């Protein structure tokens, strides 16, 4: 059963069969690596080295960049596999598969926690004042990493190597039974997209309602940037999970041997998944381009510092308005 975010490396082809579609895929993956790897390294270095006051949002961006970097550093191996075949053995293949799925789960968990943090800061500021301690955030991060590590284990149980036609390719996910296929696809789609996306949607809707009641509307870059990160992640991962659902329906109706999704569609969804790991540094650069920096303080540092102070200021304004008018709805602007 051909299925995976990285099925870009699942085509069975010898070097002499290297076609145009594969060349395009290699170019996309190469660009993702060249842009995303140094970009995420820059984000990590900037936050660790220059941002002393780190809000919850900035800390989550730091961990998100680390997860994206782990995915991107595997790209040269997938590019080589596309152009030739997998030569690194089954154990290493399973290890890389595991890393990629762990990073997939952790990324969506961090983005979801980012939205929950913003919801609490704006809609329940007094609760947020008790939750804002560094120890609470650290416990949340450890819990989310452990959950991602746990959810990545089932995918290692599938067979990741295909050895037909005299060459091996990594990331051909073969299920041993219909039951295993259903469990893994449901776990991946529900835990890695549907449930987090529902939480995201609810949080942002409630925040939007609350902001409309207030006598000010914040238009700072940090709020728009968080929305852009969420939107980019959703757009990049949505096709992959649509293929998941299609595969699930196909398995229920036709069995695990039937292939429903054309390889060209799988290639496209795989490219989007890798692009999602490289797009965030580009977004940060775009949002920081109009900020004034100095020799000691770059524009990217200014952006993260703004993010560190924006939610705090917004929460203080909410508390102030709730204190002044505790029994009244705040008037819209």
Q: Give yes or no for a contact between 85 and 14, defined as CB atoms under 8 angstroms apart.
A: yes
Within-domain flag for 276: yes
For residue 140, pLDDT beyond 60: yes
**Mean of the per-residue pLDDT values for the chain?**
75
Between CA 313 and CA 319, with CA 314 as vertex, the angle to 5 degrees is 95
170 - beta bridge partners?
161
Closest CA to 43 of 291, 279, 235: 279
pTM: predicted TM-score of the whole model, two decimal places:
0.79
**For residue 327, what pLDDT is reported?**
47
Q: What is the pLDDT of residues 26-78, one digit of tens each?
A: 888 899 999 999 999 988 998 888 777 777 788 888 999 999 999 999 999 88
Distances (CA, A) of 240 to 45, 187, 195, 260, 272: 31, 14, 16, 14, 8
Residue 264 belongs to domain spanning: 7-324
DSSP tally for the chain: helices H, then strands E: 12, 2
d(CA 185, CA 332): 44
pLDDT digits (tens, 9 = 90+) for 232-249: 888 888 888 888 888 888
User: What confidence score (pLDDT) does residue 277 get?
Assistant: 86
**309 pLDDT more than 70:** no
A 10 A CB-CB count for 254 gives: 11
Selected residue with higher pLDDT from 307 and 52:
52
Say if 122 falls within a structural domain: yes
Residue 1 clears pLDDT 50, i.e. is over it: no
- Domain membership of residue 2 (yes or no) is no
Does some domain include residue 314? yes
CATH number of domain containing 209:
1.20.1070.10
333 part of a folded domain: no
Q: How many CA atoms lie within 13 A of 28 on its CB side?
A: 22
Assigned token pair, 58: 């900035």
Token digits for 64? 């998100």
Q: What is the pLDDT of residues 2-26, one digit of tens each?
A: 444 444 334 333 444 455 556 777 8
* pLDDT for residue 147: 93
284 occurs within a structural domain: yes
Tell me, what's the pLDDT at 317? 59
Lowest mean pLDDT among 213-217, 219-223, 315-319, 329-333: 329-333
Number of structural domains, the chain?
A: 1
Asked if residue 69 belongs to a domain, the reply is yes
Contacts of 214 (CB under 8 A, 6+ apart): 317, 318, 321, 330, 332, 333
Give the pLDDT of residue 329.
45
Mean per-residue pLDDT, 196-217: 77
C-alpha–C-alpha distance, residues 224 and 259, integer Å: 41
Q: Is residue 331 part of a domain?
A: no
**Longest pairwise C-alpha distance within the chain:** 75
pLDDT (0 to 100) of residue 212: 73
Percent of the chain with pLDDT strictly greater than 70 = 67
pLDDT, tens only, 74-132: 999 888 887 777 888 888 888 888 898 899 899 889 989 888 888 887 777 766 666 66
Q: What angle do helix axes 56-72 and 263-288 make, rounded to 10 degrees? A: 140
């Amino acid at each position: 059963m051909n299925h995976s975010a990285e099925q870009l490396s699942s085509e069975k082809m010898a070097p002499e069969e290297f076609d145009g579609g594969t060349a395009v895929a290699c170019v996309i993956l190469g660009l993702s690596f060249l842009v995303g790897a140094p970009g995420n390294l820059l984000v990590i270095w900037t936050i660790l080295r220059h941002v002393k006051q780190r809000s919850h949002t900035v800390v989550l961006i730091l961990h998100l960049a680390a997860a994206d970097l782990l995915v991107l550093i595997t790209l040269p191996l997938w590019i080589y596999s596309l152009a030739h075949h997998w030569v690194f053995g089954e154990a290493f293949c399973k290890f890389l598969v595991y890393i990629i799925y762990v990073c997939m789960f952790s990324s969506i968990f961090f983005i979801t926690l980012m939205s929950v943090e913003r919801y609490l800061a704006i809609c329940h500021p007094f609760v947020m004042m008790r939750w804002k301690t560094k120890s609470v955030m650290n416990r949340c991060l450890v819990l989310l990493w452990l959950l991602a590590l746990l959810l990545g284990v089932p995918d290692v149980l599938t067979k990741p190597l295909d050895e037909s036609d005299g060459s091996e390719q990594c990331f051909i996910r073969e299920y041993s039974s219909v039951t295993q296929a259903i469990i893994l696809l449901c776990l991946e789609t529900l835990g890695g997209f549907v449930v987090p996306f529902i939480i995201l949607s609810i949080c942002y809707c409630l925040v939007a309602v609350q902001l409309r009641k207030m006598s000010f509307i914040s238009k700072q870059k940090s709020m728009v940037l968080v929305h852009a990160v969420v939107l980019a992640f959703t757009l990049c991962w949505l096709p992959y999970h649509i293929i998941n659902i299609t595969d699930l329906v196909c398995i229920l109706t036709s069995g695990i041997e039937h292939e429903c999704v054309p390889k060209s569609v799988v290639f496209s969804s795989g490219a989007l998944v890798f692009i999602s790991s490289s797009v965030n540094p580009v977004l940060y650069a775009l949002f920081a381009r109009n900020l004034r920096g100095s020799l000691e303080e770059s524009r990217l540092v200014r952006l993260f510092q703004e993010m560190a102070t924006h939610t705090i200021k917004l929460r203080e304004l909410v508390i102030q308005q709730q204190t002044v008018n505790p029994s009244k709805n705040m008037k819209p602007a």
